[in-house]
């Protein structure tokens, strides 16, 4: 749905017109996985599809939240904690809009999302950002929008996510690559070279970000940081040898984080030089690291990545938090159609999202 049709559905459902409509895209991460919380650099790209939303302030002390994806209308009591309902992300963003003084009382929301949930494409961050944008002042800086959206995840939802998704949604235009320093939040917007193409394929396997494995990786990295006496694990990207840790699991987590940061630095070089072969090779090694060191892939995704490369991609890897969801592949421009015909004959449950 476009923002216009979402506004029409809003009026049909709530019997009054929306005051604001907005759009927030999904994102795909090309490289730099699970390092945003550790002061690393990441290379996400905003997608052309996302969430469209219509909103209005209403009387009373309950928000009314509806979505094209669900049949019920959620009633959320202003000031209450999360309820475990699908509308929690929206309710949390409305709480933040109120605490910022952008919204005086309750609100009605109608949204439509084209971002599959649990696919690694940031449906939750996009939802939160779309709601905040509906009420935020026009001159709010993208970085402030992103950090407020992250605080909804941390404080309302209880998800200790990094800042990559929110920045990737708030800053670049769809199709641009964001080179983001997650430590300083400085960024550069880089164009995709004209002979490169990006494909995003859903494996058909869903995962829930809130299912504990993401949090577990954050905790493991936190323990490693303490043991090593470091503020930022990505500082280890500059070391020739990694410091020894007795726990083999923590050692592997640290190796992923340090090597992934180093790969992003090399990938930026490859991107600036338009060297798709080098960028693709780094994606491949990055995937291997997600499999072997971060334990964040699945056998089905590994087969999809292997077949994506076999079918002609320069490189492919699992994208986002992992544990299922999507892969991202780098292709020579103009070859997506024939590439997908090959991949889809082997992977009947997979779907090409972009």
Name the minimum Å distance from CB 273 to ligand GLA. Answer: 25
Beta bridge partners of 64: 75, 108
Using CA atoms, how far residue 272 sits from 89, 261, 275, in Å, is 37, 17, 8
283 binds ligand GLA (CB under 6 A): no
Q: Which stretch binds ligand GLA (CB under 6 A): 109-117, 159-167, 171-179, 267-275?
A: 159-167
**Residues within window 3-32 making contact with ligand GLA, judged by CB under 6 A:** 29
Name the minimum Å distance from CB 165 to ligand GLA. Answer: 5
Q: With both helix axes pointing from N to C terminus, report the angle between 299-310 and 336-346 in degrees, rounded to the nearest 10.
A: 140
Q: What is the number of helices (H) and of strands (E) in the chain?
A: 10, 12
**Considering beta carbons, is residue 220 or 307 the nearer one to ligand GLA?**
220
Name the minimum Å distance from CB 216 to ligand GLA. Answer: 13
**Residues within window 121-140 making contact with ligand GLA, judged by CB under 6 A:** 122
267 binds ligand GLA (CB under 6 A): no
Integer Cα distance of 131 and 263 in angstroms: 34
**Considering beta carbons, is residue 14 or 320 the nearer one to ligand GLA?**
320
List the one residue from 43, 321, 350, 353 that touches ligand GLA (CB under 6 A): 321
Closest to 300 in 3D by CA, of 330, 319, 321, 323 = 323
Among the listed residues 63, 165, 197, 293, the single catalytic one is 165
Integer Cα distance of 65 and 110 in angstroms: 6
Please count the other Cβ atoms lying within 10 Å of the Cβ belonging to residue 13: 14
Tokens 């476009």 belong to: 2
**Considering beta carbons, is residue 280 or 325 the nearer one to ligand GLA?**
325
Name the minimum Å distance from CB 38 to ligand GLA. Answer: 9
Among the residues of 196-247, which ranges form H helices? 213-228
165 binds ligand GLA (CB under 6 A): yes
320 binds ligand GLA (CB under 6 A): yes
Q: Where would I find the beta strands (DSSP E) of the chain?
A: 20-29, 41-42, 44-58, 62-67, 74-77, 106-113, 177-181, 187-190, 196-202, 315-318, 326-332, 351-352
Are the CB atoms for 183 and 41 separated by under 8 Å?
no
161 binds ligand GLA (CB under 6 A): yes
Is 240 a known active-site residue?
A: no
261 binds ligand GLA (CB under 6 A): no
220 binds ligand GLA (CB under 6 A): no
List the one residue from 10, 18, 33, 279 that touches ligand GLA (CB under 6 A): 33
Q: How far apart are the first and last CA of the chain?
A: 17
**Considering beta carbons, is residue 112 or 165 the nearer one to ligand GLA?**
165
Integer Cα distance of 82 and 61 in angstroms: 16
Are the CB atoms for 330 and 337 separated by under 8 Å?
no
164 binds ligand GLA (CB under 6 A): yes
34 binds ligand GLA (CB under 6 A): yes
Closest to 35 in 3D by CA, of 279, 292, 236, 191 = 236
Quote the DSSP letter at residue 136. Answer: S
Q: Which stretch binds ligand GLA (CB under 6 A): 33-41, 57-65, 304-312, 336-344?
A: 33-41
List the one residue from 40, 162, 286, 324 that touches ligand GLA (CB under 6 A): 162
**Considering beta carbons, is residue 1 or 283 the nearer one to ligand GLA?**
283
Name the minimum Å distance from CB 322 to ligand GLA. Answer: 7
**Considering beta carbons, is residue 93 or 321 the nearer one to ligand GLA?**
321
Give the binding site for ligand GLA (CB under 6 A): 29, 33-34, 36-37, 122, 161-162, 164-165, 320-321
Active site residues: 165
């Amino acid at each position: 749905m476009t923002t216009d049709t979402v506004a029409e559905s809003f009026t049909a459902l709530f019997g009054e017109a929306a005051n604001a409509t907005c759009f927030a895209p999904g994102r795909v991460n090309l490289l730099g996985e699970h390092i945003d919380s550790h002061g690393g650099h990441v290379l996400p790209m905003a997608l052309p599809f996302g969430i469209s939303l219509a909103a209005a302030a209403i009387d009373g002390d309950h928000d009314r939240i509806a979505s094209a994806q669900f049949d019920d209308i959620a009633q959320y009591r202003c000031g209450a904690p999360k309820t475990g309902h699908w509308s929690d992300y929206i309710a949390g963003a409305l709480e933040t809009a109120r605490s910022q003084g952008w919204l005086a009382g309750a609100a009605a929301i109608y949204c439509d999302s084209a971002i599959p949930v649990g696919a690694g494409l940031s449906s939750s961050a996009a939802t939160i950002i779309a709601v905040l944008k509906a009420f935020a002042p026009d001159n709010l800086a993208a970085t402030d929008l992103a950090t407020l959206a992250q605080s909804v995840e941390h404080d309302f939802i209880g998800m200790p996510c990094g800042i990559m998704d929110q920045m990737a949604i708030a800053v670049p235009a769809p199709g641009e690559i964001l080179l983001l320093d997650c430590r300083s939040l400085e960024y550069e917007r880089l164009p995709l070279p004209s002979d490169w193409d990006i494909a995003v394929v859903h494996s058909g396997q869903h995962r829930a970000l809130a299912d504990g494995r993401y949090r577990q990786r954050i905790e493991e990295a936190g323990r490693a940081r303490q043991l090593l006496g470091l503020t930022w694990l990505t500082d280890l990207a500059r070391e020739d040898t990694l410091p020894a840790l007795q726990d083999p699991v923590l050692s592997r987590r640290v190796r992923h984080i340090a090597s992934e940061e180093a790969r992003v630095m090399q990938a930026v070089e490859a991107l600036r030089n338009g060297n798709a072969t080098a960028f693709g090779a780094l994606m491949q090694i990055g995937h291997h690291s997600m499999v072997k060191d971060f334990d964040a892939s699945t056998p089905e995704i590994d087969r999809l990545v292997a077949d994506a490369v076999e079918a002609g991609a320069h490189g492919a890897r699992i994208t986002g938090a992992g544990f299922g969801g999507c892969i991202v592949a780098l292709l020579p421009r103009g070859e997506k159609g024939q590439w997908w015909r090959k991949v889809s004959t082997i992977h009947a449950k997979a779907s090409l999202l972009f």
